[in-house]
């Protein structure tokens, strides 16, 4: 079941990445000026906002799922062996920090998509 979920999520991520890459290609001719370029820039800004929202949303959803699984498993293992609850708790918190770091990286990438590209 987990393999299926991971494969579906990776396929979805690849589709979104390639869709974003192909959507950012600007096909306006070199001779177009004025309103056409302004309209293209407005469309590009909307595409960037959509891409940034998708990036942050997917990262936050995946992080929330991962954190939920980690908390559930650590609580279960603390219930089985209460004498090492402190070590399990500290290890879980370290894992949570890594998950949050990945989400923050996704936020930084989304900001770069909006303001740099």
Helix axes 35-80, 2-23, angle to 10 degrees: 160
Higher pLDDT pick, 17 / 115: 115
Predicted local confidence at residue 66, as pLDDT? 93
86 within a domain of the structure (yes/no): yes
CA dihedral over 44, 49, 54, 56, signed as positive or negative: positive
Higher pLDDT pick, 19 / 56: 56
Predicted local confidence at residue 76, as pLDDT? 95
87 within a domain of the structure (yes/no): yes
End-to-end CA distance of the chain: 38
75 within a domain of the structure (yes/no): yes
Least confident of 18-22, 38-42, 48-52, 81-85: 18-22
Question: How many structural domains is the chain composed of?
Answer: 1
Per-residue pLDDT of 88-110, as tens digits, reads: 999 999 999 999 999 999 999 88
Structural domain including 109 reads 68-117
């Amino acid at each position: 079941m987990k393999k299926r979920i991971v494969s579906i999520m990776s396929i979805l991520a690849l589709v979104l990445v390639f869709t974003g890459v192909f959507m950012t290609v600007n096909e306006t001719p070199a001779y177009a000026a004025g309103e056409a370029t302004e309209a293209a820039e407005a469309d590009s800004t909307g595409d960037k906002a959509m891409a940034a929202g998708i990036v942050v949303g997917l990262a936050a959803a995946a992080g929330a799922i991962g954190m939920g699984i980690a908390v559930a498993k650590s609580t279960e293992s603390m219930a089985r062996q209460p004498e090492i609850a402190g070590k399990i708790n500290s290890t879980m918190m370290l894992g949570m920090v890594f998950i949050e770091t990945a989400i923050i990286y996704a936020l930084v990438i989304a900001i770069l998509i909006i303001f740099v590209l």
